[in-house]
Structure 1
Amino acid sequence: MVCIQARGDTRTPLRIGLVAELANVLVSAVLLFGLGPFPSMGIRGAAIGTATSFTLMAILTTRALGRGPYGVRWSDVSEGLGRARRVLLPIVRVSLPTFGEKVIFHTGFLVFAALVGRLGETAMTANQSLIAIESVGFMTATGFGIASGALVAQALGAGNAVRAKAVGWTAAALGAVCLGLVSVVFIAIPEVIIRGFTDDPTVVTLGARCLRIAAVAQPIMAVCDALAGGLRGAGDTRSPMVVALVGPVVVRIAACWILTVELSWGLVGIWVGTTLDWTVRMIWLSVVWARGRWVLRAKQRVGTLD
């Protein structure tokens, strides 16, 4: 998917994702409830639906990679394997920090979830609702990160470092504006949004308070994803990994522990700590992007950059 997006084609991954999700819904519904001639398989049916979705996505993505002027053929793959030192090692060097970033982030999230679990059933219910609601912001921010990475890579490939820098800032600004609008909705009608998930008045009250705090983090999150995506597109995958280590693991866990356990702020402390994490990440990534050392590294790889 990322290879297709990096060559500027973001529509094909969208279509593939839509087809795969539709297949997931249809297969899961049929096997989960036993529609038509198919037996009811319960949770196993949902698992088969998910597996079918990923399999279909892999097949469609493989086909899409072979199309167009920049398509990858099987001969290219076999030839690349034969030149492992020159072709594969640079890929490994770039991808390993990204892998490390994901491992660090999800490890931190496990500790974060454990802290929420200490707060009781009401807090857990409210938190799950908040995560589902905030997924709107996650998906939007991720989209700007993908676009930023693809356009920065194209600009650097064309030898235009000035355009690459501008793309990162522009993506960050547009993302902040879009998620700023989401923030307005979160602040204006938090109770209405939470009631879409539960009718429990205690959960609604707690969730509404936390959703207003989450609203502050939305534009900040967009800036983080846009700049981190731009750095990855420039080949600098180490900086986002370091930020992921300091932000979610150090800042978020420390802040959430102090606010939740030591100061007894409850779930509100969790979401204040999360917002502090995003703020630290935004400042750090902005400084890294502004300094432009990633341009120098890209220049060493590409050779000529304006």
Structure 2
Amino acid sequence: MPKNSKLSKEPYTFKCEIFSFAMLLWELGAQKFPYKDKEMKEIISHVTSKNRENFKDFNPSNNGLYHESIAKGFIRIIEGGWAHESNQRPTINNIYQELDRLVETHSPRKRPSNSNSTIITPEDDEDNLIALETIIPLEEGILAHRNGNREVAWKCFELHATLGDPIVIYWKAYYYLKGYNGKADPNKAVKCFKQAADANVPEAQYYYANALEKAKKPGFLFLEYFTKAADNDNVLAQHELGRIYYYGLNGVEKNEEKGIQYLKLAAVKNHQAAINDLKKINPNLIISTENEKKTTN
């Protein structure tokens, strides 16, 4: 989707949540509310003009709360999350690993045995007894799924889903749908598909539309989600929309021209069912589709 200077036109992605998470870290570190006296329009103007909050309250000499290197670590994480271009922001996994490193570096239990500092007892260091579970990178979870290691994949998806990543929520929904996590749960699948679909995940939009279509809910909400998925280049949705419009399925007004357009979009991507549908409608459509392929290549 092309970028637009207007904030309302920017697509919502998980990187938007990274900005919010960085703001939360700043709020915790500075011990104050950001933008306290600003109206929403002022906040939007402030942020889109690349302005950010300052870090004067992170200075150990000002508050005495932080070791200098901890403050620097926090600032590094927050500034990364505040990057103006969303594709330059770190992943949530990167942020958690960085926070984990700060804990490891400054945990009293990691001090050398010859340190002159006061000995820390378990009672004094209770917080450090909590083991941090290793976060499997999402890419490894997806690879585990493709290799058939669904138990590892599911653990990865469960953990990342708690961090709110829409892509992972889609994967979690898919596992609920197929029962790959042990037992199929269609209701949970639909709920997660909707959550990911509303965060603009094309695959989730397709599956949620499919669920609405099969449930025969009144109205045409299923058509809306199929269209979103198709516009986001999901080939399954393009094929389904082509059939819906060409044949006038599920109460949708028949529109052969529109149906053929969607079928051709899917056929260009070598979707065999779409190719077969076009052959049945008119074999000459396959020739025109082949010409479109050559034009785009």
- The TM-score with structure 1 as length reference comes to 0.26
Which has more helix, going by share of residues? 1
Greater RCO (Cα-Cα under 8 Å, separation 6 or more): 1
